Amino acid sequence: MTRNRLTVPVWVDEWQYACCGAAFGVGDRVSWTLGPADRAFLAPLLGPHLPGWTADLPDRGTVPAGDGGEVVVAGEGDLSVLLPGADPAAARHPVGLLAEDRHGGFGATGPSTPGWVRTIRVVRRGTEPVPVRSSTDDPAGAGFLVELDVRY
């Protein structure tokens, strides 16, 4: 059976990577917990380089939240996205730019998304994103904008 690949943009905060992340490079296989990126934070940081990617993903149910509630999981194929605040009764969920999280920022621990790093751009405040081959090439930025290839 042949599976297709979907390329999704993922924001990786430098502070999360520095604290608890493993180095990653172009071509590496990673497995990340994904959720919605904070567009209000990223819009002034990325300016015209803010990815406009969107998808409408089917519901996959819920996972227990740290506050005793539930967090919706949406996805397709290997792509799983935690969506705090989403309607658990909805059959489909719109998503945009994603973020990788290692500290429970999406309100729950849920399924991770395996994928392959296609590109990495380090982002510094007030400058254009710079392509790099590895997260260790220039760790002094605000974060990394990664294109992640995911099977679906």
3-state secondary structure the chain: CCCCEEEEEEEEEHHHHHHHCCCCECCCEEEECEEECCHHHHHHHHHHHCCCCCEEEEEEEEEEECCCCEEEEEEECCEEEEECCCCCCCCEEEECCEEECCCCCCCECCCCEEEEEEEEEEECCCCCCEEECECCCCCCCCEEEEEEEEEC
Query: pTM value?
Result: 0.88
Q: Could you read off the pLDDT tens digit of each residue along the chain, which spans 152 residues?
A: 457 889 999 999 888 888 888 889 999 999 999 999 998 888 888 888 888 889 999 999 999 988 888 999 999 999 999 999 999 999 999 999 999 998 888 877 889 999 999 999 888 766 667 677 777 665 566 889 999 999 88
Domain boundaries, the chain: 5-52+97-151
pLDDT confidence of residue 139:
55
